[in-house]
A and B are shown apart, each in its own frame.
Chain A
């Protein structure tokens, strides 16, 4: 059962099997599609963060772009969410999952042009959808704001891209299937089912009354839980042992983690409707599932944190750009998931529901975990695709400190403010306008956190396109770009 190396380099192919393609050839076949997805992801990230900052400013300066209809708060906030979700994260998932799936399966990507075609269609559809929000065609259904007409385009595009992960898995070289492959293949099936059901039951053929709301949060929570999280966890399961050069603590635990996540995450989304006009049994089911999420999170946490524990490991983690981001993400996966379980308890929810605490929590999961792991994965994958190194360790450092510091500050501010806000709202003697006025300072701090992250993204984007263009600095480097040159360079420790 135990498996030491996710690439199975030590395993000998079964007799008669086709010899696995060499890593270089696999990377060559993936180069154009994965780079295309990453480039799109980075561009969407810049636009999405700018809209996030604009939205944040509006929450303490309501006259800022106040009278521009296309940029009223409801729309900038929705554009921000849809761009970072469908633009940045989805493109990130496409790139990372294709690379992991083919590297782990030790096969080349065939017909990469179909994936690029799908990627083009996907990004055009997202752009149309964002344009729709801008021009007032927004649906006001959370996580499904884009006009329903773009849904078929997104579905076709997804089919053209996602299929290659399934094909890649089916064509894998003989040998053990690693847990990362499970997570990716599951995500590729889950997302289209979630999306089609939600589009149908909410926008195309609306269900009656609040059945829509249940569908909405079943979908929205599962986009994070069954799409972005599995690919993030898959990347962590690959990158942590790979860069550390040691096996994952317990492969057996990872299997328990996978199935318990599949079982419990599915039901947890209803916790967004606690106290709402839906049957109480449904709320209770959501609460129970949210608490049960402790199981997969604890199991995964034990696995990651035990693998990374140790003085020597910490030195490698601290010096590897990939692991610094990925391990930061792993910690925050644990923290934000436990916080999420706690928030589903009625006593806690009574205060945190409808406040900035929830918004902070959403960013904790989507950014401090998902985005940071995706950054780490990109730092690992890019040099392998391009055959050259990242040009500047300093830019990676700037990226890390601005994003890690920014999100830490943001979540802290939002959590404290959320609790104050929730307690004040539950105290009927506090006038609502007083709560509004008190929010201004906190929202100002929130803008500061968001601005730091956005500046970090600018540093990342500059670095990304600098590397893509093939700077002299990046060609000159012969060893991986690490934070400290004093560290002995190990196998793939970037």
Chain B
């Protein structure tokens, strides 16, 4: 084993072996997986396509690094308490991710799982408050504030529908005559969160009753 070509062959073989075994085999097994109907009498194909706003919102999610505290995967009952905790009515399977150009499974749960957040929390108002200052909705949370995704605009004649409702004597209250409203990024991000739903049956994993 003294010469370079022989060592190189061994080194190349070991890495080619794992690449073939893990990645190429997976690609052959399910790299061309397609959308499917939830059951035989239905026509809607799942997973659904995301809206334009949700796709833009995903870019915000990626750029802010939400992934580092939030996973997007629900483990089966035998592998953790995810389903008991209400993070999804079924475990996630490979087919759920086939439309995603960037898969954001995550590996750390400093915050809760978001695979099904669109079903769990439907309120825009809650999301805006939570992003603006997590302490408003979730006292004691360790999530950082994302106030930079909001801006102050003059109140004018009417209060905007999406203006954040803040408590009295609040530390980050807007200037007098102004209101905090979400910038485009914040509203896109919320649309993305709404799009994360695990509310359909998949041929590989069915919703629990």
Contact = CB atoms under 8 A, between A and B. Distances in A.
A318 interface: no
A358 B109 CA distance: 11
A390 interface: no
A365 to B, nearest CB: 15
Contacts of A439: 110, 142
A410 interface: no
B109 A267 contact: no
Contact of B141 (A62, A185, A207, A222): A62
Interface stretch (B19-27, B48-56, B156-164): B19-27
A406 B33 CA distance: 48
A426 interface: yes
Contact of B146 (A72, A194, A433): A72
Contact of B21 (A73, A140, A267, A274): A267
Grouping DSSP codes into helix (H, G, I), strand (E, B) and loop, the A interface class, with mixed when no group exceeds half, is: helix
A149 interface: no
B15 A177 contact: no
Contact of B107 (A222, A358, A425): A358
Interface in A202-237: 206-215, 218, 222, 226
Given A136-B63, A266-B17, A212 B103 contact: yes
B43 interface: no
B32 to A, nearest CB: 7
A419 to B, nearest CB: 14
B85 A354 contact: no
A138 interface: yes
B97 interface: yes
A209 B33 contact: yes
A190 B65 contact: no
B138 A433 contact: yes
Contacts of A432: 85, 111-112
Nearest to B205: A277
A58 B134 CA distance: 14
Contacts of A274: 79
B66 to A, nearest CB: 6
A435 B26 CA distance: 36
Contact of B145 (A62, A137, A266): A62
A295 B67 CA distance: 34
B102 A72 contact: no
A78 B65 contact: yes
A182 B26 CA distance: 31
Interface stretch (A25-33, A278-286, A393-401): A278-286
A469 interface: no
Contacts, number: 222
Contacts of B142: 59-60, 62, 436, 439-440, 443
Contact of A285 (B4, B21, B79, B100): B21
Of B62, B102, B138, B142, chain A has the most CB atoms within 10 Å of the CB of: B142
Contacts of B27: 207-208, 211
A281 B179 CA distance: 54
A74 B22 contact: no
Nearest to A62: B144
Interface string A75-96: 1011000000000000000000
B108 interface: yes
A66 B104 contact: no
A74 B65 contact: yes
A190 B73 contact: no
Interface of A: 58-60, 62-63, 66-69, 72-75, 77-78, 136-142, 166, 169-170, 176-177, 182, 185-186, 189-190, 193-194, 197, 201, 206-215, 218, 222, 226, 255, 259, 262-263, 266-267, 270, 272-279, 282, 285-286, 346, 349-350, 353-355, 358-359, 425-428, 432-433, 436-437, 439-440, 443
19 contacts: A59-B110, A62-B134, A69-B64, A77-B68, A140-B61, A141-B102, A201-B23, A208-B32, A209-B94, A211-B23, A211-B27, A218-B22, A266-B15, A267-B21, A276-B92, A276-B105, A277-B105, A353-B80, A359-B108
In order of increasing CB-CB distance, the 9 nearest A-B pairs are: A74-B65, A266-B18, A275-B79, A275-B75, A426-B81, A428-B84, A354-B109, A209-B97, A136-B63
Interface of B: 1-2, 4, 7-8, 10-12, 14-15, 17-19, 21-23, 25-27, 29-33, 61-69, 71, 73, 75-76, 79-81, 84-86, 91-98, 100-105, 107-112, 134, 138-148
Given A214-B23, A262-B10, 13 more contacts: A66-B147, A74-B67, A78-B68, A140-B66, A190-B11, A197-B19, A210-B103, A211-B23, A213-B103, A277-B73, A354-B108, A436-B138, A437-B140
